[in-house]
Chain A
């Protein structure tokens, strides 16, 4: 197997090693879904990246930064790993970024460890990913990070009994477990925990069951898109709101589907790390710059995850160029003002420490559009799921 192409390929790898000395252009490979039902994620990432480059230029330190986008379709670890290899070997990227789904991120773990490539996760929210490689950095959030504060806030509001309803898969169960632990630690009771199959289309049976138990609140976690839409509709239609059962969620009212939910969404409570309605100069600047490039663009947590991810990459490039381990070293402990508020890269978990806000959906009197109005900061936390 030591024939000619083998030599070419080996040359490519040694070139990879040589290029870590100095280079004018640094490439970042972005692996995300740009096709299929989850194409919205890829669009959000790309718009945020372009916005950051429009605001801050394309140079970091002495380096010119370019992005290469690769479409992974959906949950497809085979494709994710193959694309990572192609980006590293053929395109000779020095950084990887993107990753919407946990399996896709986990699949590149062994690859980036071997090539020592800093990899910034824009979304995938399972705590365990970062343990898979020391080169993973995460600018999104983890589920325990937002679920546990939601539980504590609920208790402080006088809510004593909660029924949890989560989609029956990894992220849902993570959310359920950390919510329950935090809520019971405070002294509240979780009277029932329902795990709903991912294929559920009609949520009436489940919400009817919640209603019959008459808890103070119902905590929900569902994957974005159609399930969230049906769930929140059903919550209202079956009179849970009228019975005074508070809705507690996390990403359910995210901006890309919020307008589709309509007036029924008004008053829903969620605990989350970013709202496009966050009141700060950084956020307004981000929104304005993005609107200038993409007038129809929608900003949500995926956008801000990518935006901060790009910032992190710029900082790493400025500090360490193409030296992977040094770049990660430079990133740890880095703090900056993000559109979501102040954040800091936790040196231990490599996930950002950030504020978690409690929000309530309301109509903006000026634009007439629905938005997540932040009513307070309920915690400033890192990845609470790291040691579990």
Chain B
């Protein structure tokens, strides 16, 4: 029983981080039809800004978080306007090439600015403290991750279900041309969605830095992991990404508890089995 609880708690915390980083990727891939391999780069930019604001500027953690996410969005918006807008029209392969090129430039920039070693993000004293759950201890930091992840999914649901922006976004995902014909300014929606995705990636990157530590090569190291979340969740589905991220968090955690020696093989075998049976993922809105 304790084992199950352990798997659940650790799996959920891990899954929430994956969700926050990957959800933007899923939406951009579903909405703009862009194979955006540079998405992890926004988590890297967020993490790097957080490292800089925390250790070199010396701001308190709340401001660090806010500043880094805002900074990432400020970088992402013009990038969308100037570069991505042109990439949308490319074929799939050209998109892969272009976004890998962007990833290289992001890595090279961080490398030049902060070097290639680990970039730590200073946490306030309170977040390092452990909370007693009865059957085990959990750091306040992990509890925060779970809490923020839950808020993010709730916020996204409200945004999509209850606001005009959400209705337009869903319309655009379902059918871009019709939405555009109905007078929805898809260009604006694209930019806002892209910024939102980049901001969430930054948030996930910073909060997840304890599990997926930030260094210049972060986007390449975890690219496959994020893409797997999207593929399993289904392109363009926020709920799908959420369920997929939690499931992947649970599976990885469970296999490390139960069969650490075989964890990698188990994990990929499950991924292959699942995708072979459900090529469109859990709830893909558009064909993969």
Contact = CB atoms under 8 A, between A and B. Distances in A.
B210 A196 contact: no
B263 A197 contact: yes
A257 B264 contact: no
Contact of B130 (A199, A239, A257): A239
Interface residues of B, number: 36
A195 interface: yes
7 contacts: A36-B217, A39-B111, A40-B116, A195-B261, A226-B221, A239-B130, A239-B137
Nearest to B249: A202
B7 A226 contact: no
Contacts, number: 95
A204 B7 CA distance: 10
A229 B51 CA distance: 15
Given A202-B256, A226-B213, A237-B139, A262 B117 contact: no
Interface string A189-209: 000001111111110111011
B246 to A, nearest CB: 14
Contacts of A226: 118, 212-213, 215, 221
A168 B256 CA distance: 13
Interface in A177-222: 194-202, 204-206, 208-209
Interface in B205-252: 210-213, 215-217, 221, 252
B253 A202 contact: yes
A259 B119 CA distance: 10
Given A37-B217, A226-B213, A229-B213, A205 B117 contact: no
B157 interface: no
A261 B139 CA distance: 16
A262 B115 CA distance: 19
A256 interface: yes
Interface in B242-285: 252-254, 256-257, 260-261, 263-264
B186 interface: no
A225 B210 CA distance: 13
Of A195, A230, A233, most B-chain CB atoms within 10 Å: A233
B14 A202 contact: yes
A260 B260 contact: no
A205 B261 CA distance: 13
Given A229-B213, A230-B211, A233-B210, A204 B10 contact: yes
